[in-house]
Amino acid sequence: MPLGERAGDKSESRYCGVETDFNDDMPHVLHFNLYSGSFDFVVAPLMDHSYRPSLVQKDALGSGVLPFAGSDLVLSPSQWSSHVVGKISSWIDLDSEDETLRIDSETTLKQEIAWASHLSLQACLLPAPKGTSCANYARCVNQILQGSNNMQLWLRVPLVKPDDDSMDAKSVALVDSWETWNSFRLLCEHHSQLSVALDILSTLPSPNSLGRWFGEPVRAAILHTDCFLTNSHGCPCLSKRHQSLITGFFNHSIQIIVSGNSVHPKASVDANDNSGTNSQRHPLRPYLDYIGYLYQRMDPLPEQERFELGYRDFLQSPLQPLMDNLEAQTYETFERDAVKYIQYQRAVSKALLDRVPDEEASVKTIVLMVVGAGRGPLVRASLQAAEETGRKLKVYAVEKNPNAVVTLHALVKLEGWEDTVTIVSSDMRHWSAPEKADILVSELLGSFGDNELSPECLDGAQRFLKQDGISIPSSYTSFLQPVTASKLYNDVKAHKDLVHFETAYVVKMHNVAKLAPTQPVFTFTHPKHSDKEINQRYKKLNFIIPNDTGSAMVHGFAGYFDATLYKDVHLGIEPSTATPNMFSWFAIFFPLRTPICVDPGSTLEVHFWRCCGSTKVWYEWCVASPASSPMHNSNGRSYWVGL
């Protein structure tokens, strides 16, 4: 049974498993944990702990006997696949100096995985590597992954990081477990079926170092009963930090697995059980109940977030509104974003008030041109601003998409705007305007600000803006930050070509770790003060990875924009200043062909170029430190925006 519903949110449920000991009576294991215990699945050993291949007698014919497991028939195929995660024997040590142990370990790992595949299990939990070297373990896992079906392998690693104030003496000898994971997954070349199961202990490393994991493929968090505190009723509860970590796991669809013996025996006594026998109460049930309580008390996902669930970490090609004509449903999506148009209306109102003093309001008519009018929402916002401020307006709606122009005509007729609005079916770069504008309103912004060629289009439109005219927006700036994004990286890699590694994607980023604060990249200001200002740009950025993060993997860069519409009215998606409740833009993702590992406290030196040709504009990017990446997208060979 799922952990119940998150308040007001029927779309998402989370599951909770329990780690069990070996028991060859699997029907009993399932019955006890699922039906008496209400857990959703078990993480159960598939072999007796004492099994060692080297100790198994060969039969008379010399063929290997497989005495390691009971029959597959004890459970139905759907029970195996839905309710059992195979726990690979924890004694295995594939990098042991002891050859017998090493070979036994290899044999056992392969036998158990083969058996788990035979049972169609969805996942197996691999024990944590024993020492600092895990090359042979990774080699064998890699062999398995090469030949595997869809089964996921979860590498178990403890959530520890030394050199951290919060560490206790016991953990000091340990390495940063992220390093262990990183070595292992590099040896397995970021295989998409290799993921992580984190063992959560009673002490937690720093928030920054925890944050790294949200960009990694963490599938499960194993919560030990000794992490729990005791509340005033004698029941298990978690520290505030553990609670917020678990909430983070829920938000990232990471399954929780309870492990260990009950350390709250009193809480295990069923309050509703008056028989005094209490025979059926699962000893770990109070822990499950508490985890369910944490899930259910989470705030419901806002409606827009729920709508966008399907877009999370899904790579989309950016729009090319200049080269292509947008479709009706794309306009429809823009137009649902009321916040964007409210901001434009506020900007136009302020500009009108500045442009026309009260005493001239009844005599002076302002010429306002919406360039790239689409189906008309900025025309409407401008007219509303005029009404709100009592200013007189003459509007030109310039649009190059002939299909949107059809809708514009219908709108003007429907609203009775014929005397005020003139529709111009033209590319703003080539239109000969009959008069000059006081105010030029446009929204040609991409997720990275200038990536839909607003600078080039507005260069063309500036011809018909009065010398002292106002452009809304008056400027926009792009921003970047390095991210761990293993899912996005793997999705790009799945295309198996260079082109996809040199393309920027629009993405609703979710399973992503932001490794440093954003930094501004390119700024464009309108109107330009000189014809000599070019639209090419170059920027070198130095990102410092905080010391307490630990090492981290950079799979690419998240990009955003912020636009100043007019004076203090802005609109944008840069996380620290993002316009609340505005959903027209997701972030942009610039991938790296080879992910780069950065050390704590070190500097990541990144170079970005905006290049302009006669028919296209494109970005090139590279990392220069701590290691040099290849130059991405030279000459716009893979990704460009058409002029």
Ligand X SMILES: C[S@@+](CC[C@H](N)C(=O)[O-])C[C@H]1O[C@@H](n2cnc3c(N)ncnc32)[C@H](O)[C@@H]1O
Distance set, CA 161 to CA 164, 244, 392, 532, 536 (Å): 7, 18, 65, 53, 44
C-alpha span between 16 and 455 (Å, rounded): 51
Q: In terms of CB distance, is 367 or 606 closer to ligand X?
A: 367
Q: Is 582 annotated for ligand binding?
A: no
Residues 6 or more apart from 200 whose CB is under 8 A from it?
Answer: 159, 221, 222, 223, 224, 227, 242, 245
- Please name the amino acid found at residue 430: H
Binding pattern for the stretch 311-330 against ligand X, x by CB under 6 A and - elsewhere: ----------xx---x----
| Bridge partners (DSSP) listed for residue 157 | 198
Cβ atoms of 90 and 129 closer than 8 Å: no
Q: In terms of CB distance, is 454 or 503 closer to ligand X?
A: 454
Nearest approach in angstroms of CB 371 to ligand X is 6
Active site residue 360: no
Nearest approach in angstroms of CB 405 to ligand X is 9
# residues contacting ligand X (CB under 6 A): 23
Q: What is the 3-state secondary structure (H, E, C) of 263-276?
A: CCHHHHCCCCCCCC
Distance set, CA 319 to CA 316, 542, 573 (Å): 9, 29, 17
Q: Applying CB under 6 A, does 428 fall inside the site for ligand X?
A: yes
User: Under rule CB under 6 A, which residues in 378-407 are in contact with ligand X?
Assistant: 378, 398-401, 404
Say if strands 16-19 and 255-259 run parallel, antiparallel, or are unpaired. parallel
Nearest approach in angstroms of CB 325 to ligand X is 6
Catalytic residue among 19, 112, 443, 574: 443
DSSP state of 2: -
In three-state secondary structure terms, 508 is strand
Nearest approach in angstroms of CB 440 to ligand X is 12
Residues 6 or more apart from 10 whose CB is under 8 A from it?
Answer: none
Q: Is 47 annotated for ligand binding?
A: no
Q: What is the CA radius of gyration of the chain?
A: 30
Q: Applying CB under 6 A, does 334 fall inside the site for ligand X?
A: yes
Q: In terms of CB distance, is 38 or 447 closer to ligand X?
A: 447
Q: Is 72 annotated for ligand binding?
A: no
Catalytic residue among 19, 106, 112, 452: 452
Q: Is 324 annotated for ligand binding?
A: no
Q: Is 137 annotated for ligand binding?
A: no
Pick one of 201, 405, 423, 457: the residue that binds ligand X (CB under 6 A).
Answer: 457
Nearest approach in angstroms of CB 338 to ligand X is 12
User: Under rule CB under 6 A, which residues in 82-101 are in contact with ligand X?
Assistant: none
User: Under rule CB under 6 A, which residues in 336-375 are in contact with ligand X?
Assistant: 371-374
In three-state secondary structure terms, 539 is strand
Binding pattern for the stretch 98-127 against ligand X, x by CB under 6 A and - elsewhere: ------------------------------
Distance set, CA 310 to CA 224, 303, 510 (Å): 32, 13, 11
Say if strands 236-237 and 16-19 run parallel, antiparallel, or are unpaired. unpaired
Pick one of 69, 210, 444, 472: the residue that binds ligand X (CB under 6 A).
Answer: 444
Active site residue 452: yes
Question: Which positions are catalytic?
Answer: 443, 452
Residue ranges that bind ligand X, judged by CB under 6 A: 321-322, 326, 331, 334-335, 371-374, 377-378, 398-401, 404, 427-429, 443-444, 457
Binding residues for S-adenosyl-L-methionine: 331, 340-341, 399, 427-428
Binding residues: 331, 340-341, 399, 427-428
